[in-house]
Structure 1
Amino acid sequence: MNPAAAVSSRRPKAPPKIRPPQRRVNGEDQFDQVWENLAHAIRVICCHNAGCLSFEELYRNGYNMVLYKHGRKLYEGVRTVVSEHLYNVARDKIVPVFPQTAPGGGMTGATEYLRLLGNMFDDHSTCLGMIRDILLYMNKVYVPSNNLLPVYDLGLDIFRDVVARSTTYPIGKHLVDALLYHIRLERDGEIIDRLVVKHVIDMLSALTSTTVLPRLGTEATVYDVDFETKFLETSTAFYQMEGQTYIRECDATEYLRKAAKRLAEEEARTSNYLVPTTEGKIRHVVEEQLLEHHVKTVIDMENSGMVPMMSNEKIDDLGRMYKLFGRVSNGHNEMRETLSAYIEELVRGVNETAGGVPVADTAAPEQPASRPQSASATQSNPILWVEEILRIKGKLEVILKRSMDADRTFETTINDALQRSINKNKRAPEFVSLFIDENLKKGLKGKTEEEIDSLLDKTVTLFRFVEEKDIFERYYKQHLAKRLLFGKSVSEDAEKSMIGKLKVECGYQFTAKWEGMFNDMRMSSDLMTEYRTYLTKSLTVPKNITELSISILTTTFWPMNSIGAGEACLFPPEITASLEHFSKFYHMKHSGRRLTWSPQFGSADLRATFDKGKKEINVSTYGMIVLVGAFNACEAGEEVELSRIANLTGIPDADLKRTLQSLALGKHKILLKSTKGKEILPGDKFRVNTAFTSPLHKIKIQQISAAAANGGSLENDAERVSTMEKIDETRKHQIEACIVRIMKSRKRMDHNNLVAEVISQTSARFTPSPVLVKKRIESLIEREYLERDKADRKRYNYLA
């Protein structure tokens, strides 16, 4: 048996090969006939009579032409036939329906024209699909090998060249003009057939601008080159003119509404029938022409611009302005500049009306003040000033949150403008401290804990804007001392809460002495409890001894130099005895300590007998010394001269005059003055008003303060000058200490870097001028803490 035959017998039968039927083609004439058949078929397809054709036979003809190397003839023939067909259609069907320009800029027949072109393109696309099917073999074999366009893409390019960009007839021009006319109608409020426009736009988007191989899908289209460019040009001219019209005819609110409406319309237009890539381009045109070119004009519009919007709290209009101008590069910058100027103007008005700042100081801060400080001090109202600043800040916070999306850049602008404006009032630290003082004394009555905490938070926020925090610290210490000593604080919890908030802002060192003051008051209360127990147990103390309530103050904690350390005065014998007993008790517990009495902070309750009855009178300690020491032993109606009162009491002249004013010129006249007028003159005499009467049994005589003439607790000119001298002296030491710390760590520094570092480290409390820092450096050089570098005179060396 033959092995080969055996193997062959087991092999499965191969399926029969199906070959396309072939015709014997003997010459070029035969292929001409084949092509004529195909050309006729293509013409029939283009005329929508394909039902009579045999697609199998047509496919076979195309296959044979490619197979027998006549692919070029077939490809070019298709191009020619399709081109001729489209040319005839353009001549016979499109040209006769060109839209006509009507008087007044209108256009007749534009919609029909666009509809015809759209339908023609659909027909052409359908025909190209059929032609592609019968020439499928050419598409797969001949076209790729010769780097040619597929039949369908070829047909699209032919439509572009013969119809959309015809060089014989102005079809493309009329096409673009008709599209732009429809868009203009829609912009003018007319209703157009969007489906027709979208149909034509899709047609232009399907046509590439140039014949490119290979096709990647990113090629520029006829829409991009022919229509979009013209569309953007005409849109620019349209919105440029419309922007100028709006500026002439509209106020800011209406202008912004119309601009927002136009932007929304263009976005909708792109969504409805334009290409998505156009949206960003047309949006830029509208933003540039309606917004960017008119930002400053709209913001500055009289009676309707940004400032009137803020003044009238037009939240929605401001929000619209913020959103619209945020689209352009210069929008928010201009808004921030206007916002800053608006804030400075508001605060300038508050400084002039309630801050005591002369007009020249705020209107032209670069010029020296044209009025003396006393002229402004008489106009000061610290509480009103702070309330107005807080009102302005609250208003700005609402605008920032509701109109500007809490934009951090706008928040920074607001804070910077407030800080600059507030610190143009040199008394801002004192005013803020007085506002806190007023509220902690009586302003918190009737408020809930949440309201108290909110008020304190607002005040701390205002405190942040104060640059000279060391001045605030000094005033706050004075005011806190008086609240504690005179028992005027409404709530100790509120006091400690305020100190806690300030500690968070400035650190422990800023509030350490204030906390020490509270500790002194607590220890004094415990000490007085022990003293009273001591009095009850002591056998040497008289039973009718005058009751005392004494606060022991640590000198380093309390601002004794600011509020008065207390000068020696002559206490009445009754009081002197009680003081001696207390001193003995105190030194038993704390030997080696020295007590210095400060009577200007105390008060006393006296029982007085007048012609109409007995009264209980609460007076200051100085008042008690005057009444008991100078008048208690006088006969009825006996007058005492001012000089004698001074000798009997030893009270300093200024304090004595204020005390006598309180007793003789106040609401309750316990004393009578020999002369008329509010001033206490050297020759004045005083006597007890025995005929004094009052419906009240208990009477409180308010002590006239040193600053009563200047709005209550405000310092007068002399006191402020003294305070600033002390602050300047303290600053000198702080700057020198800072310089030494820096040089001790760096050892060697040049002048500019040292000055910059000193200003940076001290800015948390105050901002020294470079001149002041230079003077302190020179002082340290004189005292041999530093020396100038011998090789470079602008450098300093630290001397250990």
Structure 2
Amino acid sequence: MSLKPKNVDFNETWSALRETVKGVLTLSSVPRSVWNDRFSDVYSLCVAHPEPLADRLYLETKAFLDAHVRSLLEQVRANGENNLLRAYYQAWSQYSLGCLYLHKLYLYLNQQHIRKQKLSEAEIIYGNLSAALQEQMEVGELGLEIWKKNMIQPLKDSLVSLLLEGIHQDRLGEGNPNSTDIIRGVIQSFVSVEEFKMKGNLCLYEEIFETPFLAASGEYYKLEASRLLQTCDVSLYMERVTLQLKEETLRSQKFLHCSSFPKVRAKCEHHMVEEHLPFLHSECKAMVQQERRRDLSLMYPLLRSVQGGVAVLIKEVLEHIKQQGLEAITGLRGDNIHTQFVENMLAVHKKYKELITDVFAGDQSFMGALDKACSYVINYKSNPKIMCRSPELLAKYCDSLLRKSAKGMSDTEIDDRLAQSITIFKYIDDKDVFQKFYSRMLAKRLIHQQSQSMDAEEAMINRLKQACGYEFTNKLHRMFTDISVSSDFTNKFNDFLKSTYGCDLGFNFSMYVLQAGAWPLTQTTITSFSVPKELEKAVQKFETFYHKGFSGRKLTWLHHLSQGELKLGYLKKPYQVTMQTFQMAILLQFQEVDSLTCREVQECLQLFDEPFNKHVMGLIESKLLMTDNQALGPDTVLRLNKEYTNKRTKFRITTIAHKESPQEIEQTISAVDEDRKLYLQAAIVRIMKSRKVLKHNCLIQEVLRQSKASFAPTINLIKKCIEALIDKQYIERTPHSPDEYSYVA
């Protein structure tokens, strides 16, 4: 065909084109040759000479579509009310597909004539003018717009009424399966006729169908909820509501546009859940206390769907875990209270963590409730004036696992239990108290070589470092460093003896040189002790060696933490006995005599009554020494037991237990109190140095924020520290305000 403009007889061309348009709309057979000719006719009319006939073609096509749809309306109405949906759906199915083909037939008109006149997308979306009033529509869009005007608008009331009735019958289980496609198709037609619009393309659907549908659905849900509440208990009610929600979701997917899905669900939840929240909330407590998992798994999604609905359930779970936790740790008895405490608390945590994961889908709100409950239980004080024992008990639990006495457990099991103990540690408020007890117990394990595994020790410290940072475990790392360095000291000392004196001591002598700042071993009063002559030279030579390499340092011998191995040669067979240094010194007094009074031994060793009596009783209980009196006094005679026998030739006297005495626990707590005061004073000075001037309440809040990682100080303690710093002239009250402080530079 020729593409040049030419004279065209519009009436003749339109007459032929109209027949093809009618065939396309009615889905009649249109031969390819006819289609091609009509396609050319559209082009010819659009570029006709001397004047294009595109506008006239558009108007004639519009008039034809208008008449065609009106005739279809009459045909649909002729089918009667009962068959209205089916007739409408059939007419729509044919017409909508015909419009699609017609749109392609008018491709040139659409692209070259209509689209060039169209408003831009931005003008349509953000402009104030209606696109429909300002421009011609493309032919396919025009066909849909005419269908909306001439078919949907006249029939909308009847169609919607029938659609609502059909969906209601489906809810009741009385719907006709054959009508599903018809109902969905009719509803979809309300969307499809405006899909071409860039703005408000769901307005028709929402206005004529969705709004009345949601209103009708709301009434149904309201009546259904009322009926169920009269005939069902809470368990059955929740089952039915859950089932109803599932069915409505499937029904929405079956019939409605996707934009309606959340609206339908929200309507159902409002009438069947939100309007009956007091009833559902009243059942939560019993469900949680009885741990009715199935009921809770039904209750949770229902309450979660309503704003604020799940808060009551979270509160009940929190209170229940608190109650169960307190029951698990209250009234513990025996020597292994620390083990019972930690393992009972871990069992509670594990149980309710699994419950939250299984029943509440791991909801973080419930996990937060678990954390709050565990924190409350672990830091619970029956007496507010007494420090919580949880840090001490956890430290003892870790100590029992890390000691060589942890029998019957593999390394893997010990490591798993230590890893689990971090769960308890994270909930402890007074982490500084745990640190103090843990460091003292670690010191004893390292010094007495009682650690089960150095790898396990380091792994535990690394876990603590991950939980609280390097500063928390700094001293613990330094303790390990001292132990490793001390072994080098022993080797260097032996080399020093050989090079300086040309001989060794005649016995094995090793020592730990420990930094006073890193080890929690300092005592207010060092136990007086006169070293036996057998050890005196070794001590003097080591001090000479040490001061030669490190001038200006002071060595303090902690004999109460030392031990030695003594060989007994006065019995029928030789024995090697490991004992505490004081005990060894007492036995060495019997090198040349078989009996001595307590006064003689005590004066020779310069030991106080308390440590002397304790260590002598250890030797008497082990039957290495004998006495006629049960109560020790200055004149009590101590005798060597020359008839002593033991199945083992190498053993340890364990009378001196490495457990912390009540006095040592009290000392630890006192040390914590002093450390807290210094910590708080340092924090206050840091804050005031950076702020210069600060209100009292702001200072309190900032101190609380900075210290919460280690402990939770009382307001009174912070106030005392502020007063102490004022006395020390680090800070002062500002002249113009009594509740404001300034930093004294």
TM-score relative to the length of structure 2: 0.72
Q: Which residue of 1 aligns with 2:709?
A: 764
Q: Which residue of 1 aligns with 2:326?
A: 348
Write out per-residue CA displacement over residues 574-610 of structure 1, whole angstroms, 9 at most, x where no aligned residue.
Answer: 2234333333443444445443322211222222357
The whole-number CA distance in structure 2 between the counterparts of 1:456 and 1:586 is 38
Q: Which residue of 2 aligns with 1:62?
A: none
The whole-number CA distance in structure 2 between the counterparts of 1:769 and 1:592 is 41
Q: Which residue of 2 aligns with 1:233?
A: 219
Q: CA deviation at 1:238?
A: 0.5
Q: Which residue of 1 aligns with 2:43?
A: none
Q: CA deviation at 1:233?
A: 0.7
Q: Which has the larger radius of gyration?
A: 1
How do residues 322-471 of structure 1 correspond to structure 2 at under 5 angstroms? 323-354=301-332, 381-399=337-355, 407-424=363-380, 426-442=388-404, 455-471=417-433
Which one-letter code corresponds to 1:305 in the other structure?
M
C-alpha change, 1:177 and 1:683, in structure 2 (3 Å) is farther
Q: CA deviation at 1:124?
A: 8.1
Q: 1:247 aligns with which of 233, 245, 248?
A: 233
Q: 1:477 aligns with which of 430, 435, 439?
A: 439
Give SS of 1:705's match. Answer: coil
Q: CA deviation at 1:613?
A: 3.5
Write out per-residue CA displacement over residues 148-204 of structure 1, whole angstroms, 9 at most, x where no aligned residue.
Answer: 99587445444456x569xxxxxx5xx588546623432xxxx64233366357557
The whole-number CA distance in structure 2 between the counterparts of 1:625 and 1:432 is 36
The whole-number CA distance in structure 2 between the counterparts of 1:532 and 1:694 is 34
Are residues 1:185 and 2:172 paired? yes
How do residues 707-786 of structure 1 correspond to structure 2 at under 5 angstroms? 713-716=659-662, 718-786=663-731
Which one-letter code corresponds to 2:717 in the other structure?
L
How do residues 94-109 of structure 1 correspond to structure 2 at under 5 angstroms? none
C-alpha change, 1:340 and 1:610, in structure 2 (3 Å) is farther
Q: Which residue of 2 aligns with 1:701?
A: 653
Q: Is the 8 A contact 1:607 1:614 kept in 2?
A: yes
Q: 1:555 aligns with which of 489, 501, 516?
A: 516
Q: Is 329-338 or 597-606 further displaced after alignment?
A: 329-338
Write out per-residue CA displacement over residues 707-745 of structure 1, whole angstroms, 9 at most, x where no aligned residue.
Answer: xxxxxx3552x4433332222222222222222222222
C-alpha change, 1:669 and 1:242, in structure 2 (3 Å) is farther
Write out per-residue CA displacement over residues 279-322 of structure 1, whole angstroms, 9 at most, x where no aligned residue.
Answer: 3233124334555466786688589834555xx9x6x9876665
Percent of residue pairs identical: 24
Are residues 1:613 and 2:573 paired? yes
Are residues 1:199 and 2:182 paired? yes
Write out per-residue CA displacement over residues 522-572 of structure 1, whole angstroms, 9 at most, x where no aligned residue.
Answer: 23222222222344455586x77444222222222222236x764112333
The whole-number CA distance in structure 2 between the counterparts of 1:207 and 1:546 is 103
The whole-number CA distance in structure 2 between the counterparts of 1:483 and 1:544 is 27
The whole-number CA distance in structure 2 between the counterparts of 1:650 and 1:485 is 24
The whole-number CA distance in structure 2 between the counterparts of 1:13 and 1:588 is 115
Q: Is the 8 A contact 1:617 1:701 kept in 2?
A: yes
Give SS of 1:390's match. Answer: helix
Are residues 1:510 and 2:496 paired? no
C-alpha change, 1:489 and 1:77, in structure 2 (3 Å) is closer
Are residues 1:670 and 2:624 paired? yes
Give SS of 1:424's match. Answer: coil
Q: Is the 8 A contact 1:546 1:574 kept in 2?
A: no
Q: Is the 8 A contact 1:545 1:578 kept in 2?
A: no
Give SS of 1:613's match. Answer: coil
Give SS of 1:442's match. Answer: coil
The whole-number CA distance in structure 1 between the counterparts of 2:468 and 2:234 is 53
Q: Superposition RMSD on alpha carbons, in Å?
A: 4.8
The whole-number CA distance in structure 2 between the counterparts of 1:408 and 1:205 is 40
The whole-number CA distance in structure 2 between the counterparts of 1:763 and 1:476 is 19
TM-score relative to the length of structure 1: 0.68
Are residues 1:791 and 2:736 paired? yes
Q: Which residue of 1 aligns with 2:266?
A: 284
Which one-letter code corresponds to 1:581 in the other structure?
K
Gaps of 5+ in 2: 14-64, 100-132, 135-141, 192-198, 382-387
Are residues 1:597 and 2:579 paired? no
Q: Which residue of 2 aligns with 1:524?
A: 486
Which one-letter code corresponds to 2:261 in the other structure?
E
Q: CA deviation at 1:81?
A: 11
Q: Is the 8 A contact 1:118 1:200 kept in 2?
A: yes
Give SS of 2:464's match. Answer: helix
Are residues 1:266 and 2:220 paired? no
Gaps of 5+ in 1: 1-11, 22-74, 95-112, 133-143, 166-171, 209-213, 357-377, 707-712
Write out per-residue CA displacement over residues 196-233 of structure 1, whole angstroms, 9 at most, x where no aligned residue.
Answer: 3663575577689xxxxx99762355544555422321
The whole-number CA distance in structure 2 between the counterparts of 1:719 and 1:379 is 17
C-alpha change, 1:323 and 1:720, in structure 2 (3 Å) is same
Q: Which residue of 2 aligns with 1:99?
A: none
C-alpha change, 1:587 and 1:120, in structure 2 (3 Å) is closer
C-alpha change, 1:202 and 1:86, in structure 2 (3 Å) is closer
C-alpha change, 1:296 and 1:601, in structure 2 (3 Å) is farther
Which one-letter code corresponds to 1:524 in the other structure?
S
Q: Is the 8 A contact 1:673 1:684 kept in 2?
A: yes
Q: Which residue of 2 aligns with 1:72?
A: none
The whole-number CA distance in structure 1 between the counterparts of 2:244 and 2:613 is 76
Q: Is the 8 A contact 1:610 1:692 kept in 2?
A: no
Q: 1:491 aligns with which of 433, 440, 453?
A: 453
The whole-number CA distance in structure 2 between the counterparts of 1:199 and 1:441 is 78
Q: Is the 8 A contact 1:658 1:705 kept in 2?
A: no
Which one-letter code corresponds to 1:758 in the other structure?
V
Q: Which residue of 2 aligns with 1:40?
A: none
Q: CA deviation at 1:338?
A: 3.4
Q: Which residue of 1 aligns with 2:587?
A: 627
Q: Is the 8 A contact 2:163 2:183 kept in 1?
A: no
The whole-number CA distance in structure 2 between the counterparts of 1:245 and 1:683 is 92
Give SS of 1:618's match. Answer: strand
The whole-number CA distance in structure 2 between the counterparts of 1:324 and 1:267 is 14
C-alpha change, 1:275 and 1:568, in structure 2 (3 Å) is same
Which one-letter code corresponds to 1:670 in the other structure?
L
Q: CA deviation at 1:267?
A: 1.1
C-alpha change, 1:618 and 1:125, in structure 2 (3 Å) is closer
How do residues 27-106 of structure 1 correspond to structure 2 at under 5 angstroms? none
C-alpha change, 1:611 and 1:540, in structure 2 (3 Å) is closer
The whole-number CA distance in structure 2 between the counterparts of 1:680 and 1:734 is 45
C-alpha change, 1:530 and 1:561, in structure 2 (3 Å) is closer
Which one-letter code corresponds to 1:271 in the other structure?
Q
The whole-number CA distance in structure 1 between the counterparts of 2:696 and 2:352 is 41
The whole-number CA distance in structure 2 between the counterparts of 1:568 and 1:614 is 32
How many pairs were matched up? 642
